[in-house]
Every structure is written in C-alpha cells, then in structure tokens.
C-alpha cells in the first residue's frame, strides 16, 4: 500500500545561512545593531523562501496490516503474510529495472488482495496453503538470490544467464499470484453466474427478453 508524504526542501535553511555569511562579510556582527539586523533579515528570508518553495510530495510504501480473525492459525498465517509483503516491498525498492519492478508490484497487489480476503473470510485460508508453503517463500528465495548476484559486481556468463532467467520468469510468478487471488473468488463467481442464469430465465419466461437474446448472452 502506498501513502503520500510531504518533504520540505532544505533551500530556506541554505538561504538563511547564506544571508548570515554575506552580511558577516560586509558588516561587523560583533556589534549589537548589526547582529539584530542580520537576525531579522535572515528570519524574513527564511519565512519568504519557506512560503514560496512548496514541499515535495513523494509516495512511500507502508506495511499492510490485516485485521485479526480470532482464529489462531489464520491470524498466524496473516502475520506471516505481512512479513512476506514487507520483504517484497523491500526488494522492489532496490530494483532499478522497470519491467522487473512492474512484476514485483503485481505480486504485491495480488498478495495484498489474497491476505485481505482471507482476513475477511477465514474459511478460505486452506485454499492458500500451497501459496504460503511454496509460491511465496520460493519467490522470496529467488529474489534474495537475485539481489546477491546483482550486487556482487561480477559480470560472468553464469551470473548474467541466471539473472536473465530470473527476470524472464518474474512474469510467470506474478501471473501465478494473480491466479491464486482469482481462485479465491471462484465460489462467488459461480454464485453470480447462477443468479444471472436464473434471472435471465425469469425475464425470458415473462417475455421481457427473448430466448434468442438469452442464448446470445450465454
């Protein structure tokens, strides 16, 4: 999850210091009158600069927290999920390649959706057993290995080939995360499809829509 944060620029402080420096080169600051003058002048410079120079707005990643379900096993799973998400965000902040970062961002979004749904519907927790026991830890392991190889400074053939393989497979891994999220809503999707079929049948029987139109929708 991302939040915006405003960061004040340091320029007003620099201008304040420059004011004191320039004034001190021209006038004797050991005299009370000049000391008071430069104090007032620097304060005005700082206030004006602070007002005219806007703060810079940046986006920062913050750790996702999921609500407690009251089920010990599920809550432990969600706690572990929060740690995995924190790790994925940490890796993503160190990745400079846009395509690679895009795939990790897909994983973060999908995983957040998965854990959020589990926190709302704990009965679905068993469905993500393989996701938690294999998909996520293996992904973390791969990203950890990639970080070590990328920061080694070595440009050997084996390292280059391994890094390329990891980057190419990130698309598949991100898709697997998204499929897991989609699978969690399988029952809801089936219920909605059934409701739509029943509704269409009722509308057709009452002559509101034709059977031909109903068949074309199917």
Q: Is residue 209 situated within a structural domain?
A: no
pLDDT of 33 higher than 60: yes
pLDDT at 193: 66
Residue 72 in domain: yes
Same domain, 22 and 122: no
Q: What's residue 70's pLDDT?
A: 84
Handedness of CA 206, 209, 215, 217 (dihedral sign): negative
Give how many domains the chain has, as a whole number.
2
Comparing 53-67, 112-126, 177-191, the range with the smallest average pLDDT is 53-67
**Among candidate residues 167, 105, 111, the one with its CA nearest the CA of residue 136:** 111
Q: pLDDT-based confidence at 211, cuts 50/70/90?
A: low
Q: Are 23 and 57 in contact (CB under 8 A)?
A: no
* pLDDT bucket at 58, cuts 50 / 70 / 90: very low
Same domain? 70 vs 54? no
Residue 102: which of 94, 92, 110 has the closest Cα? 92
Same domain, 73 and 108: yes
Q: Specify the 3-state DSSP secondary structure of 6.
A: strand
Same domain, 152 and 169: yes
Verify that 23 and 130 share a domain, yes or no.
Answer: no
Q: Report the sign of the C-alpha dihedral through residues 68, 71, 76, 78, in that order.
A: negative
Task: Write down the residue that tokens 């992904």 correspond to.
Answer: 139
Q: Are residues 118 and 150 in the same domain?
A: yes
User: Which domain range does residue 113 map to?
Assistant: 63-184
Predicted TM-score of the model (pTM):
0.61
Same domain, 147 and 67: yes
State whether 45 and 8 are in the same domain: yes
């Amino acid at each position: 999850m991302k939040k915006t944060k405003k960061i004040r620029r340091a320029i007003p402080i620099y201008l304040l210091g420059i004011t004191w420096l320039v004034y001190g080169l021209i006038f004797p600051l050991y005299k009370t009158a000049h000391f008071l003058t430069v104090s007032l002048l620097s304060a005005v410079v700082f206030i004006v600069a602070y007002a005219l120079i806007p703060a810079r707005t940046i986006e920062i990643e913050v750790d996702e927290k999921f609500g407690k379900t009251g089920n010990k096993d599920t809550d432990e799973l969600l706690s572990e999920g929060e740690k995995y998400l924190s790790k994925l965000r940490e890796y993503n902040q160190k990745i400079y390649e846009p395509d690679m970062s895009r795939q990790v961002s897909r994983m973060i979004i999908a995983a957040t959706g998965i854990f959020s749904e589990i926190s709302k519907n704990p009965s679905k927790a068993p469905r993500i057993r393989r996701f938690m026991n294999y998909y996520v830890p293996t992904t973390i392991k791969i990203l950890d290995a990639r970080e070590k190889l990328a920061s080694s400074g070595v440009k050997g053939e084996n390292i280059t080939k391994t890094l390329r393989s990891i980057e190419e497979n990130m698309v598949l891994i991100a898709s697997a995360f998204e499929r897991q999220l989609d699978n969690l809503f399988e029952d809801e999707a089936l219920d909605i499809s059934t409701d739509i079929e029943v509704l269409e049948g009722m509308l057709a029987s009452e002559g509101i829509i034709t059977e031909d139109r109903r068949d074309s929708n199917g």
